[in-house]
Structure 1
Amino acid sequence: MTRRPVTPASIGRPDVIAQAHARSLEIGLRASEAPDFQPLRQAVLRELVERNQSLYTHALPVMETLHAQIVDTQSMVLLTDHRGVILHSLGDSDFVEKANRVALCPGVSWAEADRGTNAIGTALVDRQPTVVHADEHFLHANRILTCSCAPIADPFGRTIGALDVSGDTRGFHKHTLALVRMSAQMIENHLFSNQFADAIRVHFHARAEFIGTLFEGLAAFAPDGTFLSANRSALFQFGQPLAELQRQPFDALFGCAFASLLQQIARAPGESILLTLRSGVRVVARGEYAAPRYVAPLEDVGGVTRAPLTGGARHVARAADPAPPATLETLDTGDAQVAAILRRVAKLRGRDIPILVLGKTGTGKEWLARAIHHDSPRRAAPFIALNCASLPETLIEAELFGYEDGAFTGAKKRGSVGKIVQADGGTLFLDEIGDMPLAQQVRLMRVLQERTVVPLGGTRAIPVDLRIVCATHRNLREMIDAGTFREDLYYRINGLVVTLPALRERTDLAALVARMLALQPEGERLPRRVSDAVLERFTQCRWPGNLRQLANVLRTASIMAEGAEQIEVEDLPDDFLQDCVDVAAEGGVRAAPAVSGASGGDDGGRGAARASAQQASARMEDWQTALIAQTLARLDGNVSAAARELGLARNTVYRYLRRGGTTH
């Protein structure tokens, strides 16, 4: 048997290498064998990549980041499928030639059966992160390498590939495996989020600062509260394997009713709550679910449309018929103001006149932009959206205009194509353009004038053909007077200006509700209408969140009323009922009348629900005041940023300040 020397990499894990060498001998491999230089034909390799498209797509950006961390160390990053066949590689140019000598290149299998003991093959067999250093390799030819590999699992725990860093033995570093493990977990988290994009997801960890990081636990649930899956960190925190977790309800896992989580999500999206695991450990958690399919167009990511998740006996994600795209016709639900806007926009069909859409947050500015694109000759080309308020000032320029290799510290190798070039031939939608920094306004103005864009760090102008649609909730004329928005850019983007009305100003509320409910996903036993009492409540709401708020209220209420013919008042989120009471107390609208049953007698408990909401009104206002104060303090008094984070209108935050709030 081949003698295996003791090395720093093998201390504490001799059995792993010894067992791998034993398997290599049993297969019949000879340590002196030369490596196989016959990779898969290009056509076969392309087909293999296509079969692993989801893994490949989500791994590439992580591989680039990992390679940037180990650049100039005579090493390379490799991605394989579940059999160990290399799908893609990124390597230092001075190491690629050495790697080719041992067939470390795309299309070659590094399974143990083909290469003996090696990090990729051994990690896939053991399903554990593995380092194989120098003479620990079974084949003599591979002993010029040190390799660190971690297997990659899909959201259901099945091994689908591996991520590996292989390099010259002289560059061995004990921390490389930690980088590989973290990168593999990052890929798994991306796959998890993509798989369960339309599920109810819970992010949790015992330490609040780990929420939103690589180390947070992720658990996904169907709309009825059935457990679907969890990522590695969640499995570790639960202390149970996936098969056992799939037999347990939400309340057994987190010590909380599922309905309470849904109400928390609707009341305060993004806010953290405390939950208790079965082990007794208290964790900080944040629940979320994506905007429902029947409200907003499906999001295209990398050319792949995400299908919504539905419930059912098997509780797995399934492909569904895509929601119909937003068109000018489908946006017309009977309101005279909206109909007039749609008629004006329709007259520009086929003409590349820029459009500026004004309106409060949540009024449907992006839906209108998508409809404009879909009803234009450019519909087959990309629709690219960028929210100028969602990116730090230092990133907007790179995201919009793109950059060349080495343009700035941290830039991706080979650069990045910006949103403007991505939109070539199609439509570029710049949301919240009022938040674009002045320096970028100047560059955008030049692009609109010359119809070319020069990436950061580049010298070559790239011609572009696109249509611009912009949107903002700000008063751009006031910003021009204040010197924070360029007048020349304003006149470049406002070929036609339209202002979307707030939901409370529209006359088609009943039609909007009916349209949203009618387009709920098939297969879920969700109601397709609301009761007269619910519609009455809706007409009395101020709807500060506009269409987005209506969508969230309907989604939560639909889940609460699952199996019923219609949504009743008791199915509405508590915070929504409390908001209605607050509005009535302020004299904004009349208080909701008593809701009677069909016989005119017992109201089925709805009056009690209203009374409970009235009693909770003061507590709710105290909670909101405290939340606004905390957010303003954390954001150094930035009212606009606080309003965006809380999902409130800026006037609401200013009203709090006028009542005596402080940012200190």
Structure 2
Amino acid sequence: MQMRDTGISSGQVKPGPGISSASSARMMIEQAHERSAAYGLPRTATPDYGPLGKIDLKTLLEQNRVLHQHALPVMENLYEQIINTHNMVILTDVNGLIIHTLGDADFLEKADRVALSPGVAWSERSKGTNAIGTAIAEKTPTIVHADQHYLEANNFLTCSAAPIFDVMGNVIGVLDVTGDQHNFHKHTMALVRMSAQMIENQLFASSFQDAIKLSFHSRPEFLGTLMEGIACFDNDGRFLSASRSGLFQLGLPLSALLTHTFSSLFGLPVSALHEHYRTATPGLLALCLHNGVRVYAKSQSLKRQSTGARHVLDNAREPQAAEVKPKLSSLHYLDTGDEQLARAIDKLKRVIGRDISILVTGETGTGKELLAQAVHNDSPRKSGPFVAVNCASIPETLIESELFGYEDGAFTGARKKGNVGKILQANGGTLFLDEIGDMPLNLQARLLRVLQERMVTPLGSSKSIPVNLALICATNRNLREMIGKGEFRDDLYYRLNGLVVRLPPLRERTDLDVVIAKVLATESEGRLYRIAPAVMQLFHAHGWPGNFRQLTNLLRTAIVMTDADMEIRLEHLPEDFLEDMDVVLKPATIALSQTPASLDALEMDAIQQALQQHQGNVTAAAKALGVSRNTIYRKLAALKCD
């Protein structure tokens, strides 16, 4: 399973020795154009946009049923992250035939011009150089932007595509995000690659349902994330296959690994692995790889056999929502060491499954939806739907129909056959109403009636439908103050606040290092990025007004900007962040920032500034920097010794 790795900036692939990223990208596009010309395609030609007929399209879907089944929830998750950015998500088969699409309505109209729709071929032979076709030809993630497309008709597009590989390393399809070239975002490729790996992992798990599946990583906190390696063995310990991250960590190609056993790879007989999971509470295993690297490992498949539990977290028999976002798997995963958060999680664990409404408060970006998703995944309703509604993002004229649904012909412009509505969509599962404080007063009364009667009446209907769901609400506003002003119903408030938990903002949390490690693990697609000490120091000193949303976007951008050593340094951070922290990078500073001496100088400069701002109060300075008082004393002592 040997694959070329790529960079994730516009039109760039990872270069070989002595070749710059830009020149490597140009070479790949030039070679793709040469292939396109050899197919006899004039650049000014009107391409063939004829889709497959209904029978052939049905056959295409059936042939790719497993791929489509596992890709669909991942595509929906990916689309949620790029919604309203004039983009669409596309899944194709190995030949570039489009299987499924999701997209913004405004961009879909433009996409129709070039037939970005199911049943249309986007191979290089059909459309010339394009991200889908070129990703298939090169077997590597590919960005094709604007006039890099071979056909002039496609020059208004920007496309980021990643091939999807099966368990034997063969390309079986492509995941792509395509949009208007004027709406290009550097982080899109990272999202596409991460999503493609999610699909591969799910296909991998479903292909080896009866095998021993071992998850491993050199750092235990990365188990359960996309960075973990997964290797499969039969009951006798013979190696069967490994995920892409597993191959990377094992350091051998698939062809070589097929000659190995569990014992030869991990230095332990497979019988010892079975014995470990016969204990009542088996912990993580400490193993040593064939190359001497120490790793931590676990096997949920053996745990499932030993306990008889059929519903463990990594059960991959069906592509459920919990698999799409492994980082949201449980409250345990979100508990990263902060005392405030730990108290909130403890309270939530006590009320899960007890029909008690939950109200989550906190600033925007503190992770209220992540928490709600984790509560759902830990609840008896986890096999049901999790439906999230942001009450602030839906126009007031539409929120009633979105929530409660409507019958066919209920109002002008309504879609035919009506709309079920979010409340009924959540039947049997969990409904998460974010920014509940922005719900109009008249709808608050209707929501209260639904909660009390457990019945929903769609617009234009005289029939009430029973509904059974758990309710989690969230707000960044003070609902008690709104009640005093007549902006929020007190009877609804007291119905919602069965349990109120507050999510602390990032600046108040004591687990920033762990949080950053988890975000990096999620965003880095199995690669081990590091953060320079000077950068980590800035992170601890920053107030994070945008909380997790700001941190995630910053790290996502920094990953794109890193060099081959995969270390995030000052020059990789967004300029607005550096301006907020009063950091000015001059050419000499950038060069020096990569040496240990300059890092010490930056640390001392930050300490001295913090002490000045807090009139020499070491405790206050340490709190502002996110370090201990002993660290400041030690640094100051070292300065005196010098």
TM-score in terms of structure 2 length: 0.49
TM-score in terms of structure 1 length: 0.48
Q: Relative CO higher for 1 or 2, CA cutoff 8 Å, sep ≥ 6?
A: 2
Q: Which has the larger radius of gyration?
A: 1
